[in-house]
């Protein structure tokens, strides 16, 4: 692996590494925050998944996560949002292709050759982190928008693997909104039954683990009623009696101003679970 950046931050180190992913068959950039506690002990790991058009840079430069992670002694891992590079298929549309993986395993050509972000985040990335950094196998996961979708789906599909999960403005019913329908049709094909394992609201119905969900939206989010549909998550959780803390935050939009304002509360949520 190659270290691309290295910055002192709140007593720890914010770095960016590049490593080869066998699952994605390309090089991947990953932001790694090592808190000060990592200098003399192994630390639990909090995974962050970013949204459409983002890279590993968005969270590490805009979210203000380092000061809160340092408080609890958490390693924070922020991967890029998709495979990238020469030979990786892409689209001219911002919501498909590079930067728009939707954290699933594509089954349709030409996407299936590289777009397997689910396997990367669930298996390959944690193995790489735990082999190369002072990390324990205690994990939690959170994310924003498309990444919030990814975090919720990954946690629900892997009972016992994550101590906690949360999301900022997640796409919770991708099968029912334009962003998700476009991506699912391209990556998974026309059979909508194959979409259900990648849809939070569908997964809630039969989730084998009742891992509590913390989900925040801004009531001024321009995508709230068209792409995010939080009322569908609330209804699904009520029907399945799944524990949910769903908050509509007054005045906030879809941006990192929203994320950075509530980052401390989300890391409090994960810190309590990871240090229990």
254 is catalytic: yes
- The pairs formed by 21-26 with CB atoms below 8 angstroms and a separation of 24 or more are 21/83, 21/120, 21/124, 22/124, 23/116, 23/119, 23/120, 23/123, 23/124, 24/83, 24/114, 24/115, 24/116, 24/117, 24/120, 25/83, 25/113, 25/114, 26/83, 26/84, 26/85, 26/87, 26/88, 26/114
Task: Please pick, among 114, 254, 266, 270, the residue that the annotation labels catalytic.
Answer: 254
Strand ordering across the sheet containing 135-144: 2-9, 12-21, 26-34, 75-79, 43-49, 135-144, 165-168, 213-218, 244-249
Between the alpha carbon of residue 250 and those of residues 147, 217, 218, 221, 223, the distances in Å are 22, 9, 6, 10, 15
The residues pairing with 20 across neighbouring beta strands, listed in sequence order, are 27
Length of the chain measured in residues: 276
Burial-class residue 213 by CB neighbours within 10 Å (0-12, 13-18, 19+): buried
Written as six digits, the tokens of 41 are: 């002990």
Task: Please pick, among 114, 221, 242, 266, the residue that the annotation labels catalytic.
Answer: 221
Interatomic CA distance for residues 35 and 160, integer angstroms: 25
Task: Please pick, among 50, 140, 145, 166, the residue that the annotation labels catalytic.
Answer: 145
The residues pairing with 27 across neighbouring beta strands, listed in sequence order, are 20
261 is catalytic: no
Neighbours of 50 (CB within 10 A): 29
145 is catalytic: yes
Interatomic CA distance for residues 236 and 124, integer angstroms: 31
The catalytic residues are: 145, 221, 254
């Amino acid at each position: 692996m190659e270290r691309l950046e290295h910055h002192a931050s709140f007593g720890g180190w914010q770095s960016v590494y590049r490593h080869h992913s066998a699952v994605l068959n390309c090089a991947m950039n990953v932001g790694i925050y090592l808190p000060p506690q990592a200098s003399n002990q192994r630390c639990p790991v909090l995974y962050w998944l970013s949204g459409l058009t983002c890279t590993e840079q968005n969270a590490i430069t805009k979210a203000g996560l380092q000061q809160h992670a340092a408080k609890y002694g958490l390693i924070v891992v922020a991967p890029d949002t998709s495979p990238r590079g020469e030979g990786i298929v892409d689209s001219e549309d911002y919501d498909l292709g590079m930067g728009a993986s939707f954290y699933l395993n594509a089954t349709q050509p030409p996407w299936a050759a590289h777009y397997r972000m689910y396997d990367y985040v669930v298996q390959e990335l944690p193995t790489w982190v735990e082999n190369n950094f002072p990390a324990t196998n205690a994990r939690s996961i959170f994310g924003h928008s498309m990444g919030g979708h990814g975090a919720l789906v990954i946690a629900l599909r892997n009972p016992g693997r994550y101590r906690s999960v949360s999301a900022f403005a997640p796409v919770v019913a991708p099968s029912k909104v334009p962003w998700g329908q476009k991506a699912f049709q391209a990556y998974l094909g026309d059979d909508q039954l194959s979409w259900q394992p990648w849809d939070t609201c569908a997964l809630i119905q039969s989730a084998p683990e009742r891992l509590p969900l913390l989900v925040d939206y801004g009531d001024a989010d321009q995508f709230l009623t068209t792409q995010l549909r939080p009322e569908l998550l609330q209804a699904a959780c009520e029907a399945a009696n799944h524990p949910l803390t769903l908050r509509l935050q007054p005045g906030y939009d879809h941006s990192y101003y929203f994320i950075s304002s509530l980052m401390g509360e989300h890391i409090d949520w994960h810190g309590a679970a990871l240090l229990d």
